[in-house]
Structures are given as C-alpha cells and as structure tokens.
Structure 1
Amino acid sequence: MSAEPAQDLLIGVDVGTYSSKGVLTTLDGQIVAQHVVPHGISVPRHGHVEQDADAVWWADVVTILLELLREPGTAERVAGVACSAIGPTLLPLNAGGRPLRPGILYGVDTRAQAQIDALNAELGEAAILAHSDMALTSQATGPKIRWLREQEPEVWAQARTLTSAGSYLVFRLTGEHVIDHHTGAHFMPLYDPRTRTWTDRFAASVLGDRGLEVLPRLAWSDERAGQVTAAAAAETGLRPGTPVAVGTVDALAEGLSVGAARPGDLMVMYGSSTFFILTQERPTPDPRVWSVGGAFAGQVNLAAGMSTTGSLTRWIVDEFAREQDTAAAYDELFTQAAALPPGADGLLMLPYFSGERTPVNDPRARGVVAGLTLSHTRAHLFRAALEGVGFGIRHNLDALRDLGADVRRVVAVGGGTKGGTWLQIVSDITGQVQELPRVTVGASYGDAFLAGLAAGALTRDDLDRWVQPGPPVTPDAATRAEYDRLYGLYRALYPATREIVHAL
C-alpha cells in the first residue's frame, strides 16, 4: 500500500484589473510554477467600469489552476489554496448563487455619486465618518448597493446575496459565502469597525427593506473559508477537500507578498492604479483616506488609492505607440523618459484620467496636461505621467502624515517597479527610501502565504523566511529643490482647473 503524498505545496491566485496570475510554491516560499492570463475591463458608459464574474474572474481562476496542476500528482500535494481579487467590487447573486449582472468595480467606477450625496444628506457626513471611520467615496460599496436598488430594480428583486470579487471565487470553490474584514469595511455604512460585525444602524438607507442576511459571513483573511467541493474540483483539477482561505483584495495580498505586515509598514502598489496600505496598531480616521480591517485578527489598515497610474502609462503606449509591440514601446519610452530632466522640460500632468480617489476624492476630476509646446514629444508626455503619479503619491504620503499616521517603512511592489525608472522618480519626488524585495511576484504570492496559514502549514512568523530584502531605492538629493518647486505647482493645478474640468 503506497503512502499518501506529502502536502508540501501551496497555491495563490490573484484576479487583477487587467490580468490574473497564479503561483505554485513550496512551504518555504520557493516558486515552482506561475501562470498569467490577461483580460480587459468593460466600460459600458462613462464612470461605469465592470467585469464579468464568470467569463473573466472564474474562467481565469480555472485556467490558471489547470495549468499549475498540469503535472500528474501535483493536486494531491497542495496543502491549501487562496484567492485575492480586485476590490471592493459589488456582485449581486440570485438564490442559486449565479451572477445577475457584471461585477461593479472598486473606486474607478464612479456611478454612485448621486447615491453618495443622498446618503450624506440623509445620514450626515459627520455621523457616517464617526460610524465607519471613513467618509463615503467612490471606493465605498454601500452607495453602489443603493444605486443597484434604485437603477436596476429587476436585478435587485432577484438578488439574494451581495458579494465581492474575491468572495465570489471562494464561493465557487467552496460553496460558502464569506468575506474578509478588509473588504467588508468598504461595504460602509453596513459595517461596524468597533464590533467587526454587520450593523443595521443605517441599513435601511442602503438596503431598503432587505435585511443583513444578503451579506456574506465576515472572517479574517487567513481563516479557512471551507474546502474545495467535488464540483469545483472537477472544474479546476484541485483535490476535493483542499482547504481554502478566506482571502482578501489584491492590494492587501500584495502587501503580504512583500512582508509589509507590521505596524508602520506602508505598501505602495504600482499597478493599473496605485494603492497604499499602512498597517497600524490603532485606527486614525480621516475623511481623506480609508480605515479598514487588516489581514489578521485585530489588525487595522489605513488605505488610500489613486485611480489612474499604470493604466495611464498604458493609455500613452496604446495611443501614441500603437505601431510598436507593447513591450518594446514601454522599454523605449522608459529609456527616453529617464534621459529627460526633472519636470519633462516644462510639462506638468494631473493623472486624474478616471477621476481621483485619495486624498482628492473627486470622481469628476479629469486629467490635465499643462505646459505643452510644439517641442514636446511622446517621451515628454510619458515622463510627465510618471512624475504626475509621483506627485500624487507624495500628496497621499503627506495626507497620511498630516493625520498622524506612523509611516516607518515603505515597501514598493507591482508591475510599475520593473526597471527602476519610475521608482527612482517617485523616491526623488517624495524624498522617501523605498524597499524592493528580491522576489516581487505580486498578490498571488501573498495569497499562497495565506493558503499556508489557513491550512495550518505555516505561521505568521514564516513571512520573514518568505520575503528577502533587495537593494533599496534612495532619493537623489540633487533633484530635491526642483521637485519641491514642481510639487507646489502640482498642488496648485487641481484647484486652479477644478471648476473648468467639472464644467466640461
């Protein structure tokens, strides 16, 4: 009789805005295999940003798992699996757990501004801030739930569960409706950060006559949500009964992937948008940012996010270098941008091409390019975009410090860290040292760690073994005076153009 195979592997899968990625690791974090599946977003009208839950989210997960488990005997060795995804999103499900419409994305989707205004008027902005530890913005899911109730009554009538992207993946794997506290906090004002429970205090203004039973069960990211069902195993190749972690949003998983999990650690994620997560010992509520639960029981995160960063550089490549291979165009533009002086020869950009989240919190904000002349090239535009994002990152760091948050260490992660040019520009603008771990696989690597915790194969102390530091990016003091001057102009540009942009 042959012995059972050792369960010495872990799987993490992350569904991002423009691609999904999976990783197969050993219990000590060594990468065995990876797989990436690209996808797109749907913008049916301005301000509405959506994705199909089955055709994109679940289909990507299935494709990735089948690829990672391709070698015979691999599934039997997997100790646990965890998923993360874009969030917070809103996905209504019918009584059978099937999606009733495409998922409504996180803060880049700005459709619910009228509902934000209505909730603020009905409940009071001060009352909402005191209750939720943050103000209503386009990142909040509660106003989007109200939008769904008001604008799509036929969908609302059939909805029996209101979930998010990562929670839907957990449901497809386990049959369990469960959501992590980090994501749940964004379902404000339905979440009470003091009791860590759903609350009906303001529920009528969001859910109408529905009760809190339409919301998934709350749990911490490293807890076990359930186990892989026979039906999910048949689709994915996973072993039935494999433990599945609760998981979380992509940004929090990305923070874990680079070891940003202790108080004072700030993760800056350079993706299609830029996201910030600061691990704290106690909350510091402020309407400019988001105060949410962390990955582990009792943890608090201060989160912030810019709407259009990597997607802005992609827009420039798509529109101004469409005749080139995308990868080659990026290489050329980064090289050319690195050769230009700070300030891109008099060009300044507000990167608010999809509105802006923190600390501006203006869904009606738009991109502004100031100082254009006939001598400027696409490389100047690209450099101005990199610097515009850098100024936006400095704006967010200033906001965190203004409210008394303790930032002790900055760890960078994400696709925008490749090559170093963008990181150097940001360090020069902010004056901030940025740490860059040797292995920067992304959120899926953090998911694999969560899978190990949920399966009982790892402890939190093992994170130090998984994450090895690389060389830091240090600011160039020679650029400081010029960037300080330009930052002042950047901060003045938004209020100077806001009313014109809103009118447009």
Structure 2
Amino acid sequence: MDSSRRVDTTMFLGIDIGTGSSKAVLAAADGSIVDRASVTHDVELPHPGWAEFDAEAVWWQEIAVLSRELFSRNDAGSLKGVCVSGMGPCLVVTDDAFTPLRPAILYGVDTRATAEIAELTEEFGPGSIFETCGKDLSSQAVGPKLRWLANHEPEVFARATHWFGLNSYIVAKLTGEYIQDHHSASQCDPLYDVRRLDWHPEHVAAVAGHLATPRLAWSDEVVGTVTAAAADFTGIPAGTPVCAGTVDAWAEAFSAGVQQPGDLMLMYGSTMFLVHILSEPRSHPMLWACSGVTKDTLTLAAGMATSGSLISWLRQLFGDVPINQLLEEAAAVQPGAEGLLVLPYFAGERSPIQDPDARGTVTGLTLRHGRGHLLRAAYEGMAFGVRQILESVEGSGEPVRRLVAVGGGTNAPLWTQIISDITGRTQVVPHQTIGASYGDALMAAIGTGSVPADTVWAQPDHTVEPNPANVEIYDRLFDTYAGLYPAIRDQMHALAAVQRDYS
C-alpha cells in the first residue's frame, strides 16, 4: 500500500513468527487486509540435531520491527487487539524478569532429547503417556527438552523460574502475564492431560520441578493488555488487549475456516502439516492428539518432515532451474512418473511413520528418467504420504468431511492436482491464504468481542477435483509405495548410523 496513506478504521494486529520469517498483518473487522509486513531470519544450528533461536534478540526484536513498520503507515489509535502465533512447540526458560537464560529450543526439528524421550517413557510408561497425552513422546514434545535441560545444563535449569512457548513468551513481554495456551500446552507432553484439558500435576512436578506453572488460556482469550514499557519498545499502544495466541499451524487452520468437526487443513509449505477438528476425544498411534484453538475443542494432527524443502533441494541439484520450467517438465510426465517412486524421508520422517532415522529413497530409476520424472515422483511421494495420513485420520473414527488446502504450495497446480488424484479428495482453496498471522488477527477480533465467536473470514476461491483417469495407476503404485519402507527400514537405519559418524 502507499506509504503516505493513513488508514482510520478498526484494526486487529496478527503476527506470526515462523522458522524462516516473521509476518504481520493488520486486518479490519470484515476480514479485509489493511496492511502487512515481513522480515526474514535464520535458525541457529550450533550442533547436529540442535535448532535454536535467540528469543529476545530475534523474536522480541522482530515484534517491534514489524509493529513499528505497520504503524508508520497506519493509525495505531485504531488498533483494538493483538495476537501472536509462532513455530512450536518451543521451549524458552527465563528468570523472574522474563529474560531468557539460554537460546530457545525449537520444535520437532530439534532432536537433542532422544535419551530423555526414552527416560521419560520408561519413567511414566508408554501406555500411560499415550492415554494421558493422546500421543507417544517424540522430538516434538517439550517435556523431554525440559528434562534435557535439567540433565545437561543444570545450572541454567536451577536459575530458571518460568518456561514458555514462543507465543506465550511474547505475551509475557507484552503484558507481564505468565500464561500458556491450551493447544501449546497439549504439545508439552507429558505435562498436559488432553482428556481433562488441564495440566497433569504429577508429571509437571516430575519434569518442570521448581518452575512456576503457567496459567492456561484458550488461544482467542484476552489474557492481558500491553504495558507502558512494551508500548515504548514496540509502538503498540499501551492498554491494547492481547490474546493468548498459539502454534502457527493451528492459527493458520483457524484463518482458513477449519473450525468445525470434520474440517481438515492440509498446509503446503516447507513441510506438509495437517490439522483435523474432532467432535470428541480420539487418538491414533501415528497422529498427535492436541487441544484446539477455541474453548474445549480437540484436534488430531500430523506433520511430514519435508515437502517444499525437498522440492527446493531438487532445484539446487538441478542447478537452480526456474521452478516454472521444472513444473512444465514434471507436468509433461505421465502420472506414475514411468514407474519411479520417491520416499520423501530426506530429513527422517514424522507422520506417517514417526521415524527420525528413515532416509530418502528413489526406487525404480532408469536411464529413461530425467529431472521431470524425479520432480513428479517427489510430488507423488509426498501425496502417497498424505494418503497414508488421511487413512490414519479416518481410522481414528472421525471422518474428513471437508479438506481445505492452504500455504504457498497451493500456487503450484500440479502439486495440488497430484494430491487430489492420489488421495481421491476434493480440496477447497481459500481466496485469502496469508497464513497464521491472518488467523491471529481473527482471534484478536473474536477475543475482544469485536466480531461474533463463529466469524469466518476465509472465502473459497476454487476447488481441486481428483481426476478419475489416474485412479488405477496411483492405486497400483500406492501399494508398492506402502511396502517399500518396511522392506528397507533396517537398511535405512544402518545408513543413518553411518551418517552420524560424519557429524
């Protein structure tokens, strides 16, 4: 928008802090976009298997950078509410002044706590953890990372008084309030009871020890107001209501109107992520049961380890050929990529197999195959993985009634078409696919009572229908695809062990 323009309207600020960038949006009460801003950043990778951020120097600083940019062009006096989401679940430990004592430990991409996962699983019992948390402990869980801190950095753990996720840390900096939203808490396994929607006191005491336990709040709930000190730093007016916020994928699902039981979001990004809204508590060993965004809601979720990141890697191998040219080449290849299959486990895999030692595999390669075949087979491999996940979702007992596709990958028609063809599902693509920051703005509007609680800003743009002509070839290849991983899992694990020797 014109930098000289000043907008005088009721506005809501949503900010999402992602792995590669932070994005902010100002939205009006009708969902129209007033303005937006973004800034990029890099993840710190200090050791193999570690992924960190400086929460104060990056996250908190970027809140100020984005807010000040937007309010240099818009009337801050028209702001009625703020909400922040971010990658997660993350772990930030601080002192009483909310000053971080070490870099933030990121979500499932940080795999340092493998030994602590085993330790806590033995301590509480795998069956008990699954019953309480709705999922097994994994690198996604916060509890093992807290235990890792106690085991490996005991002096830091002893000095810490508070622990946060990304959004709750920003809430504390903005308002002085110590909270955790229910959804983020439900990924702090084994500390939260997903059936009772509350902390599990014995597990909290055993894992978090002396740390104060944060107050729970729903993501669209106002938990405080911006303090004078935070206003001076960020430019957000003092007294502005602040909602709890949540993890980015759930904020994005909310932005896309995925709010009713049977709704499922399929997010096309650097990874594929799925969020399914439930009508009652359900679980599945290959999925993550979690609380939702709004009061008393529940979800099942799944996330693949690579998707868009795999396509970016292939582009680099191909010499950074323009993506449109590669997509044309892949589209010219017949469905099934002439018998080429890719297992997309190039960074291990979360869903549908939950195996960090799985490895990427190209099977059926011949001298006839070119880069168009490889690219198409990569898209098809991701789609076969999505099909496996959807089968697990429906195996939980909650049918998928509506599938909403979001994320930058929806701009690649070949990708979305392959997903529909392989899964047999119609996808609804919203007109507005800004992402989690748009969902944050909607939560701020709802939480402040400025719009009704059932407000949905997202409007459908188009649908992607499966092509019946491709059913036979994809059904045939799916059976082969599903059999590949169990057939070569031991060999994958052996190679993963060799690769660790090179770290």
TM range (shorter): over 0.9
Query: How many angstroms apart in 2 are the aligned matches of 1:379 and 1:206?
Result: 50
Q: Residue 279 of structure 2 contacts residue 398 of structure 2 at CA under 8 Å; is this kept in 1?
A: no
1:55 offset after TM fit, Å? 3.3
TM-score scaled to structure 1, two decimals? Answer: 0.93
SS at match of 1:472: strand
Query: How many angstroms apart in 2 are the aligned matches of 1:217 and 1:320?
Result: 50
Query: How many angstroms apart in 2 are the aligned matches of 1:191 and 1:21?
Result: 29
Q: Residue 427 of structure 2 contacts residue 464 of structure 2 at CA under 8 Å; is this kept in 1?
A: yes
SS at match of 1:456: coil
Q: Residue 284 of structure 2 contacts residue 392 of structure 2 at CA under 8 Å; is this kept in 1?
A: no
Q: Residue 9 of structure 2 contacts residue 28 of structure 2 at CA under 8 Å; is this kept in 1?
A: no
Query: How many angstroms apart in 2 are the aligned matches of 1:173 and 1:68?
Result: 17
Q: How many residues are aligned here?
A: 489
1:321 aligns with 2:303: no
Assess, with a 3 A threshold, how the Cα gap between structure 1 residues 250 and 426 changes in structure 2: closer, same or farther: same
Equivalent residue number for residue 92 of structure 1: 93
What amino acid maps onto 1:363 in structure 2? P
Query: How many angstroms apart in 2 are the aligned matches of 1:55 and 1:95?
Result: 18
What amino acid maps onto 1:37 in structure 2? V
Q: Residue 108 of structure 1 contacts residue 354 of structure 1 at CA under 8 Å; is this kept in 2?
A: no
- What is the aligned-residue RMSD (CA, Å)? 1.8
Residue of structure 1 aligned with 2:393, choices 395, 400, 405? 400
Query: How many angstroms apart in 2 are the aligned matches of 1:57 and 1:311?
Result: 23
Residue of structure 2 aligned with 1:496, choices 487, 492, 495? 487
Query: How many angstroms apart in 1 are the aligned matches of 2:45 and 2:368?
Result: 34
1:133 offset after TM fit, Å? 2.0
1:289 aligns with 2:282: no
1:321 offset after TM fit, Å? 2.9
Equivalent residue number for residue 436 of structure 1: 429
Assess, with a 3 A threshold, how the Cα gap between structure 1 residues 320 and 165 changes in structure 2: closer, same or farther: farther
Q: What pairs up with 1:230-309 in 2 under 5 angstroms?
A: 230-309=228-307
Equivalent residue number for residue 158 of structure 1: 159
Equivalent residue number for residue 346 of structure 1: 339
1:242 offset after TM fit, Å? 0.8
Equivalent residue number for residue 409 of structure 1: 402
Q: Residue 91 of structure 2 contacts residue 142 of structure 2 at CA under 8 Å; is this kept in 1?
A: yes
Q: Residue 7 of structure 1 contacts residue 79 of structure 1 at CA under 8 Å; is this kept in 2?
A: no
What amino acid maps onto 1:202 in structure 2? H
1:58 offset after TM fit, Å? 2.2
Query: How many angstroms apart in 2 are the aligned matches of 1:231 and 1:370?
Result: 58
What amino acid maps onto 1:264 in structure 2? G
1:215 offset after TM fit, Å? 3.4
Assess, with a 3 A threshold, how the Cα gap between structure 1 residues 379 and 60 changes in structure 2: closer, same or farther: farther
1:7 offset after TM fit, Å? 6.0
1:319 offset after TM fit, Å? 4.0
Query: How many angstroms apart in 2 are the aligned matches of 1:43 and 1:378?
Result: 31
What amino acid maps onto 2:293 in structure 1? A
Q: Residue 272 of structure 1 contacts residue 311 of structure 1 at CA under 8 Å; is this kept in 2?
A: yes
Q: Percent identity?
A: 48
What amino acid maps onto 2:180 in structure 1? I
Query: How many angstroms apart in 2 are the aligned matches of 1:341 and 1:48?
Result: 40
Q: Detail structure 1 runs of 4+ shifted over 4 Å in the superposition.
A: none
1:403-436 C-alpha deviation (Å, 9 max, x unpaired): 2122111001011111322111101110110101
What amino acid maps onto 1:106 in structure 2? Y
Q: Residue 181 of structure 2 contacts residue 219 of structure 2 at CA under 8 Å; is this kept in 1?
A: yes
Query: How many angstroms apart in 1 are the aligned matches of 2:43 and 2:318?
Result: 21
Equivalent residue number for residue 467 of structure 1: 458
Assess, with a 3 A threshold, how the Cα gap between structure 1 residues 251 and 357 changes in structure 2: closer, same or farther: same
What amino acid maps onto 1:286 in structure 2? H
Query: How many angstroms apart in 1 are the aligned matches of 2:57 and 2:379?
Result: 33
Equivalent residue number for residue 333 of structure 1: 326
Query: How many angstroms apart in 2 are the aligned matches of 1:484 and 1:316?
Result: 26
Q: Residue 428 of structure 1 contacts residue 477 of structure 1 at CA under 8 Å; is this kept in 2?
A: yes
What amino acid maps onto 1:494 in structure 2? Y
Query: How many angstroms apart in 2 are the aligned matches of 1:160 and 1:283?
Result: 33
Query: How many angstroms apart in 2 are the aligned matches of 1:111 and 1:478?
Result: 46
Query: How many angstroms apart in 2 are the aligned matches of 1:44 and 1:486?
Result: 40
Equivalent residue number for residue 357 of structure 2: 364
1:55 aligns with 2:48: no
Q: Residue 138 of structure 1 contacts residue 357 of structure 1 at CA under 8 Å; is this kept in 2?
A: no
Task: Single out whichever of 98-107 and 276-285 deviates more from structure 2.
Answer: 98-107
Q: What pairs up with 1:95-134 in 2 under 5 angstroms?
A: 95-134=96-135
Query: How many angstroms apart in 1 are the aligned matches of 2:204 and 2:12?
Result: 39
Q: Residue 312 of structure 1 contacts residue 353 of structure 1 at CA under 8 Å; is this kept in 2?
A: yes
1:194 offset after TM fit, Å? 3.3
Q: Residue 277 of structure 1 contacts residue 302 of structure 1 at CA under 8 Å; is this kept in 2?
A: yes
Query: How many angstroms apart in 2 are the aligned matches of 1:315 and 1:29?
Result: 36
1:390 offset after TM fit, Å? 0.8
Q: Residue 135 of structure 1 contacts residue 286 of structure 1 at CA under 8 Å; is this kept in 2?
A: no
1:155-181 C-alpha deviation (Å, 9 max, x unpaired): 212221111111112122212221111
Equivalent residue number for residue 441 of structure 2: 448
Query: How many angstroms apart in 1 are the aligned matches of 2:25 and 2:102?
Result: 29
Q: Residue 49 of structure 2 contacts residue 110 of structure 2 at CA under 8 Å; is this kept in 1?
A: yes
Query: How many angstroms apart in 2 are the aligned matches of 1:472 and 1:175?
Result: 44
What amino acid maps onto 1:460 in structure 2? A
What amino acid maps onto 1:65 in structure 2? S
SS at match of 2:45: strand
1:96 offset after TM fit, Å? 2.1
SS at match of 1:393: helix
Query: How many angstroms apart in 2 are the aligned matches of 1:141 and 1:120?
Result: 13
Q: Residue 91 of structure 2 contacts residue 166 of structure 2 at CA under 8 Å; is this kept in 1?
A: yes
Q: Residue 108 of structure 1 contacts residue 355 of structure 1 at CA under 8 Å; is this kept in 2?
A: no
Equivalent residue number for residue 216 of structure 1: 214
SS at match of 1:267: strand
Residue of structure 1 aligned with 2:18, choices 16, 19, 41? 16
Q: Residue 417 of structure 2 contacts residue 465 of structure 2 at CA under 8 Å; is this kept in 1?
A: yes
Task: Single out whichever of 50-59 and 119-128 deviates more from structure 2.
Answer: 50-59
1:388-414 C-alpha deviation (Å, 9 max, x unpaired): 111111110011112212211100101
SS at match of 1:392: helix
Equivalent residue number for residue 487 of structure 1: 478
What amino acid maps onto 2:455 in structure 1? D
Q: Residue 266 of structure 2 contacts residue 275 of structure 2 at CA under 8 Å; is this kept in 1?
A: yes
SS at match of 1:48: coil
Q: Unaligned 5+ residue runs, structure 1?
A: none
1:1-25 C-alpha deviation (Å, 9 max, x unpaired): xxxx976111111111222211111
Query: How many angstroms apart in 2 are the aligned matches of 1:25 and 1:180?
Result: 23
Assess, with a 3 A threshold, how the Cα gap between structure 1 residues 182 and 365 changes in structure 2: closer, same or farther: same
